[in-house]
Amino acid sequence: MRILVSTSGRHGATDTLGRELARVFEHGGVDVDVRAPESVDCVDGYDALVIGSAVYSNRWIPMVNDLVARLADKPHPPVWLFSCGPLHSADRPVNDTADAARAVAVLNAQSHCTFPGKLDVAELSHGERLVFASSGAAEGDFRDWIRVCNWARDILARLASIPFPR
C-alpha cells in the first residue's frame, strides 16, 4: 500500500504533523511519500492521500487550495484532510474553515480533522505579530501527538477495510 502525505504551512508545525503521520503509516508497513502540494502533479499509484494545511486568518495555505482544485475533477484515491490550527483562546472555539469544508466536498474526503497548532512569536513576521497581538491566541505548542497518531491509525484501519482493485 502507498500513501501520499502532502502538507503546507509557514513555520513548520503543519509539516511536522505530516511527518508524524507518515512515521505512523510507515510503522504500519505502508510505503509513504511526503511531498509539498506544489510538487504533486499525479496521484496515480497511491492508495490514499492525506492533505494538510496550516490555518491563518481562517484560511488554508494557497498551495493546498491549489492542490485541491487540481484533484477535484480527476480520479483520485480516498482522501483524508487535516488543518493545523487555528490556535484558540478560551473565549473562541476552533472551527473548521470554509476552505476545509470545500475540500471535503469537492474531494469527497473520508474525513477532516483539525489539530491545534504551535505558535512561537519569535518566528513571526512583523505583520503576523500584529495579527497575533489582537487575536486572543496563546503562544505555545498545542499539538496533541497522541491524537495525531491515533488519527493515523484510524486511517490505516479504514484503508484495511476498503477493497482495492489490484
Classified by CATH at the fold level, domain 2-161 comes out as Rossmann fold (3.40.50)
- What is the per-residue pLDDT across 16-48, written as a single tens digit (0 to 9) for each? 999 999 999 999 999 999 999 999 999 999 999
| Beta-bridge mates of residue 8 | 53
By three-state DSSP, how is residue 10 classified?
A: coil
- Tens digit of each residue's pLDDT (9 = 90 or more) over 80-113: 999 987 555 444 445 568 899 999 999 999 999 9
At residue 90, the pLDDT reads 47
Share of the chain above pLDDT 90, in %: 59
CA atoms within 13 A on the CB side of 111: 9
12 SS3 class? coil
Who contacts 112 (Cβ-Cβ below 8 Å, separation ≥6)? Answer: 80, 81, 82, 83, 96, 100, 101, 103, 104
Q: Which of 165, 85, 95 is nearest to 128 (CA)?
A: 85
